[in-house]
């Protein structure tokens, strides 16, 4: 795991108990900016479309390696963003997410 995605350096407190949501939200916003995934969370980053095979002149053309790599990288970043938020929830709040 690269340092840019490591959460061990974060002073973030888990949401719940004595931690107020407004304080947690501001800290989490900064954390997501730091690891470079805030655009995914805000919905401002343009998603990479799923690379499907195409038909050209009657022949099926598979997706390019570049398009598959770009898509897989985007999906991995989405999981990292979700995981970063999830790990900073206390057990009571994780239950709400787990039931989605």
Which of 48, 44, 20 is CA-nearest to residue 32?
Answer: 44
Task: Look at residue 1 in the predicted model and tell me its pLDDT.
Answer: 41
The pLDDT confidence band at residue 6, using thresholds 50, 70 and 90, is very low
Domain boundaries, the chain: 14-52+62-98
- How many CB atoms lie under 10 A from the CB of residue 59? 7
Long-range (24+ apart) CB contacts under 8 A made by 8-13 are: 10/88, 12/88, 13/88
Angle between helical axes of 21-34 and 65-87 (0-180°, round to 10): 150
Kindly report, residue by residue over 17-59, the tens digit of the pLDDT: 777 888 889 999 999 999 999 999 999 999 999 999 999 899 9
> Can you name the residues that pair with 23 across neighbouring β-strands?
none
Distance CA 77, CA 27 (A): 19
Kindly report, residue by residue over 80-93, the tens digit of the pLDDT: 999 999 998 888 88
């Amino acid at each position: 795991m690269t340092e840019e995605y490591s959460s061990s350096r974060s002073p973030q407190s888990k949401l719940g108990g004595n931690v107020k949501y407004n304080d947690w939200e501001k800290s989490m916003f900064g954390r997501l900016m730091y690891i470079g995934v805030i655009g995914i969370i805000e919905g401002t980053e343009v998603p990479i479309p799923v690379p499907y095979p195409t038909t050209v002149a009657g022949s099926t053309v598979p997706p390019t390696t570049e398009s598959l790599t770009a898509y897989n990288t985007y999906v991995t970043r989405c999981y990292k963003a979700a995981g970063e938020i999830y790990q900073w929830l206390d057990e009571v709040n994780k239950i709400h997410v787990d039931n989605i």
